[in-house]
Amino acid sequence: MSIDIKIENENELFEKYKELFVHKDNIRISLMGFGFAVGDGWYDLVRLCCEKIKNAVDQHNEKYDTFHNRVKGTTNEKHWHNPPKNKVEYPQVAQVKEKFGGLRFYTNGCDAEIYESIQGALDFAESMSFTICEDCGNKGKLREDRPWIKTLCDKCYEVKNID
Ligand SMILES: [Zn+2]
């Protein structure tokens, strides 16, 4: 049984968040060409991370455009606190993997301000991953009594132990 995110789900992420996977076919820069190295049970968590990153960049850049094209020089300017000084690039998803039973989501080239606004969501996804079966997405828990520590539901845990 394959543990990876289903190929159709993987392709959906690559398509919907293509700005985050520009280098996915260049293995010198990104490991994403090999796909997401986590089970399909964590698909929603991975999608949440991608969504959060894309939104953070889009909102930052829209705010920049609004301020510099419509607000700057008008009487509304004084109501804006810390308007964005520059537009930012999308960070690149470098690697998504399981480590010690939890989800790890690594990016490259993330603007510091963007990183600050997404860090909470990435941490949240990691802590949630310890409660969700990596294989099937049902309620799971960390299984440390196996050769490879994994977060699994009771059913997948039994199946894995028979294999
Ligand atoms: Zn399961």
Task: Say how many Å lie between the CA of residue 41 and the centre of ligand 1.
Answer: 7
Task: Say how many Å lie between the CA of residue 136 and the centre of ligand 1.
Answer: 4
Who surrounds ion ligand 1 at CB < 5 A? 133, 135-136, 138, 153, 156
Note down pLDDT in tens along the chain; length 163 residues.
Answer: 446 889 999 999 999 999 999 988 888 878 888 889 999 999 999 999 999 999 999 999 999 999 999 999 999 999 998 899 999 999 999 999 999 999 999 999 999 999 999 999 999 999 999 999 999 999 999 999 988 899 999 999 998 776 5
- Determine the pLDDT at residue 116: 94
- Determine the pLDDT at residue 29: 78
Task: Say how many Å lie between the CA of residue 102 and the centre of ligand 1.
Answer: 14
- Determine the pLDDT at residue 62: 97
- Determine the pLDDT at residue 26: 86
- Determine the pLDDT at residue 163: 57
Cα(77)–Cα(103) distance, integer angstroms: 42
- Determine the pLDDT at residue 1: 45
Task: Say how many Å lie between the CA of residue 23 and the centre of ligand 1.
Answer: 32
Contact (CB, 8 A) for 126 and 106: no
Task: Say how many Å lie between the CA of residue 162 and the centre of ligand 1.
Answer: 14
**pTM score:** 0.91
Biggest CA-to-CA distance, the chain? 70
